[in-house]
A = this chain, B = another copy of it.
Amino acid sequence: MQPIGIIHSPFRKKEYTQIQPCRSHSKGQVEVFPEFVDGLQDLDGFSHIILLYYFHCSKGYSLRVKPFLDHKLHGLFSTRYPCRPNPIGLSVVRLVSITANILEIQGVDILDGTPLLDVKPYIPEFDRVDGVRAGWFEIRNKPEQRC
């Protein structure tokens, strides 16, 4: 695994980044390293992209964690907690524009300086699921409590 770019965001500290209760409206930039810029062709046709990145500030992991949006312990794989055996983060963000190797994005919940591993197009046919049951998250975060 090698970084293919760096994610820039307004979030400089873990404490302020990870407690986003719902989709952030914050803007950020994805800087794709110049040697990969040819791979961005046609990406501007997509309104949303999936970013995979390395949770570079996470150290070690526990299999039972208290996620940021609950006060109870849950199995690590039923949470999005950043400390994981393979600390890969996943965020769906809006792609605002592309200029050369810089992607302007919106809806960022990622720490500034995070190494980028991959960019994939968000394709509703693959990635958008209706009628989902969302376990403890749904119980803990009732609609009226969300932003």
Chain B residues closer than 8 Å to A63, beta-carbon distance: 36, 38-39
Instruction: List which A84-141 residues lie within 8 A (CB) of chain B.
Output: 84-86, 88, 90-92, 117-139, 141
Interface of chain A: mostly helix, strand, loop or mixed: mixed
Contact of A86 among B4, B47, B64, B136 (CB under 8 A): B4
A40 to B23 CA separation, bound complex (whole angstroms): 25
Q: Are B46 and A64 in contact (CB under 8 A)?
A: no
A85 to B77 CA separation, bound complex (whole angstroms): 26
For chain A, the bracket of interface size reads 35 or more
A84 to B63 CA separation, bound complex (whole angstroms): 30
Q: Are B38 and A135 in contact (CB under 8 A)?
A: no
Counting chain B CB atoms within 10 Å of each CB, which of A23, A63, A75 scores highest?
A: A75
A32 to B117 CA separation, bound complex (whole angstroms): 24
Chain B residues closer than 8 Å to A127, beta-carbon distance: 92, 127, 129
Which A-B residue pairs are the 5 nearest by beta carbons?
A45-B135, A41-B75, A47-B133, A39-B76, A38-B63
